[in-house]
Amino acid sequence: MTGSPITQHTPKSPKEGDENPSGEKEEDATPTADQQRQMEQAFSQMKRKMTIQEMGDKIKHKIMVLSGKGGVGKSTVATGLALSLANQGNTVGLLDIDITGPNVPKMLGLGGHRLNVEGGRIFPAVGQRGVKVISMAFLLESDDTPVVWRGPIKLGAIQQFIGDVEWGELDYLVIDFPPGSSDEPLTVAQSLPNIDGMVIVTTPQEVALLDSRKSVGFANSLKVPVIGIVENMSGYTIHGTAQANQTISVTGPTNEIIEITANEAGDWSVTLDIFKQGGGQTTAEEMDVPFLGRLPFDPGVIRGGDDGVHRIVAQPEGESAIAFASIVEAIKKQIKDNKDSQSSGGLEII
Partner 1 sequence: MSENLNLVKLERMNSEMELTWSDGSINTIAYPTLRFWCPCAKCGPRRDEEELSNQFQVEVDSLPTEKPIVNPVGGYALHFEWSDGCSSGIFRFERLHDIALGENPDGGKPYTHGAW
What is the CA angle 302-306-310, rounded to 5?
65
346 scored as a contact of partner 1 (CB under 8 A): yes
Residues of this chain, 222-261, that bind partner 1 according to CB under 8 A: 222-224
4 touches partner 1 (CB under 8 A): yes
d(CA 70, CA 203): 10
Under rule CB under 8 A, residue 191 binds partner 1: yes
Q: Is 347 among the residues that bind partner 1 (CB under 8 A)?
A: yes
Beta bridge partners of 270: 238
Is 269 within 8 Å of 237 (Cβ atoms)? yes
Binding map of partner 1 across residues 8-27, x = CB under 8 A, - = no contact:
x-x-----------------
- Residue 42 binds partner 1, judged by CB under 8 A: no
Region of 114-122, 136-144, 218-226, 259-267 interacting with partner 1 (CB under 8 A): 218-226
Q: Which of 86, 195, 226, 321 binds partner 1 (CB under 8 A)?
A: 195
Q: Give the interface size with partner 1 as a residue count (CB under 8 A).
A: 25
- Cβ atoms of 192 and 57 closer than 8 Å: no
Q: Which stretch binds partner 1 (CB under 8 A): 122-130, 217-225, 250-258, 320-328?
A: 217-225
Instruction: Confirm if 171 and 89 have CB atoms less than 8 A apart.
Output: no
CB of 189 within 8 A of CB of 182? no
Measure Cα distances from 237 to 259, 263, 271, 316 in Å: 14, 16, 4, 18
Stretch touching partner 1 by CB under 8 A, among 60-68, 198-206, 310-318, 338-346: 338-346
If one asks whether residue 148 binds partner 1 (CB under 8 A), the answer comes out as no
Please give the Cα distance from 36 to 316 (Å, whole number): 55
Nearer to partner 1, 225 or 296 (CB): 225
Q: Is residue 139 part of the contact set for partner 1 (CB under 8 A)?
A: no
Residue 170, SS3 per DSSP: strand
Q: 1 or 265: whose CB is closer to partner 1?
A: 1
Q: Is 2 exposed, middle or buried (0-12, 13-18, 19+ CB in 10 A)?
A: exposed
Amino acid at 272: L
Position among 1, 29, 33, 257 found at the interface with partner 1 (CB under 8 A): 1
The footprint of partner 1 (CB under 8 A) covers 1-4, 6, 8, 10, 186, 189-192, 195, 220-224, 343-344, 346-350
